[in-house]
Amino acid sequence: MKKIFPDAKTALEGLVFDGMTVMSGGFGLCGIAENLITALRDTGVADLTVVSNNAGIDDFGLGFLLQTRQIKKMISSYVGENKEFERQYLAGELELEFNPQGTLAERCRAGGAGIPGFYTKTGVGTVIAEGKEHKDFGGETYILETGLIADLSIVKAWKGDEQGNLVYRKTARNFNPVMASAGKVTVAEVEEIVPLGSLNPDGIHTPGIYVQRIIQGEHEKRIEQRTVRERQSA
């Protein structure tokens, strides 16, 4: 199977449809699939359910899809950096399914592993637990959470080869590996496509069996919140 595509637009051809569920890797703006998000916006696809830790910022990342009202529902754990996300949610224009961050990661991992559900203590006694099955184990109460599967996962990696084996760099790893495994189709964008055999097998984070398409992109790597301190005088 030829997995390398020339650009994000062609890599998404034939994969998108209205009402689909999309997993988008990244944490804040770190490790997001910048090119694929923009290409997804340009398809005009509508009524998306997007699974992502957060929704970028107003003018970058998934914020683009919020601007164009292509997202119907977000399954997320944090929304604090995007004012348009907040505005749409408070106005009742956007559905939101909140998840504790670890629960969200495990829901994606479980989906990729073929596990339909799991029990966790996180959220017991809070609004997170409302409407969910409760069960006692060893005298402790747990709630049932379901695994997540997406029609399409878009992820960002540091390096990838022609078979789709991926290596992430440092904190850009975040949600990308679990989401890559949980997509019915996974498209990866990388900073560099390297020859087959050049990646150390012990260092591969996502095996190519999970990746159907791959592109090499140019990345702005914008910083979500630039924090500096004054230089201390000697």
Q: What is the pLDDT of residues 52-75, one digit of tens each?
A: 998 888 889 899 999 999 999 999
Phi-psi region of 164 (alpha: psi -120 to 50; beta: other; left: phi over 0): left
| Interior/surface letters 144-183, b for 16+ CB within 10 angstroms, e for the rest | ebebbbbbbbbbbbbbbbebbbbbbeeebbbbbbbbbbbb
Measuring CA to CA, how many Å separate 165 from each of 8, 26, 138, 215?
18, 18, 41, 12
Residue 231 within a domain: no
Q: What is the pLDDT of residues 133-183, one digit of tens each?
A: 999 999 999 999 999 999 999 999 999 999 999 999 999 999 999 999 999
What whole-number distance in Å separates Cα of residue 12 and Cα of residue 152? 9
- Provide the domain count of the chain: 1
- Tell me, what's the pLDDT at 219? 83
Measuring CA to CA, how many Å separate 205 from each of 22, 156, 191?
21, 12, 15
Residue 201 within a domain: yes
Residue 221 within a domain: no
Nearest partner of 4 among 190, 174, 184, judged by Cα: 190
Q: What is the pLDDT of residues 9-18, one digit of tens each?
A: 999 999 999 9
Paired tokens of 142: 């747990």
Query: Above 80 in pLDDT, residue 232?
Result: no
- At residue 141, what is the residue type? T
Q: pTM of the predicted model, to two decimals? A: 0.92
Residue 135 within a domain: yes
Residue 2 within a domain: no
**Mean pLDDT across the chain, nearest whole number?**
94
What whole-number distance in Å separates Cα of residue 123 and Cα of residue 130? 9
Task: Give the confidence band of 83 by pLDDT, cuts at 50, 70, 90.
Answer: confident
The C-alpha R_g of the chain, in whole angstroms, comes to 18
Residue 233 within a domain: no
- Tell me, what's the pLDDT at 124? 97
Query: Above 80 in pLDDT, residue 39?
Result: yes
- Tell me, what's the pLDDT at 218? 85
* CATH number of the domain where residue 174 is located: 3.40.1080.10
Q: Are 180 and 155 in contact (CB under 8 A)?
A: yes
Query: Above 90 in pLDDT, residue 79?
Result: no
Residue 229 within a domain: no
- Tell me, what's the pLDDT at 45? 98
| Structural domain that includes position 155 | 8-216
Burial tier of 80 (Cβ tally within 10 Å: 0-12, 13-18, 19+) = exposed
What whole-number distance in Å separates Cα of residue 153 and Cα of residue 45? 15
Query: Above 90 in pLDDT, residue 103?
Result: yes
Residue 222 within a domain: no
Q: What is the pLDDT of residues 196-226, one digit of tens each?
A: 999 999 999 999 999 999 999 888 777 777 7
Phi-psi region of 114 (alpha: psi -120 to 50; beta: other; left: phi over 0): left
Query: Above 70 in pLDDT, residue 234?
Result: no
- Tell me, what's the pLDDT at 117? 98
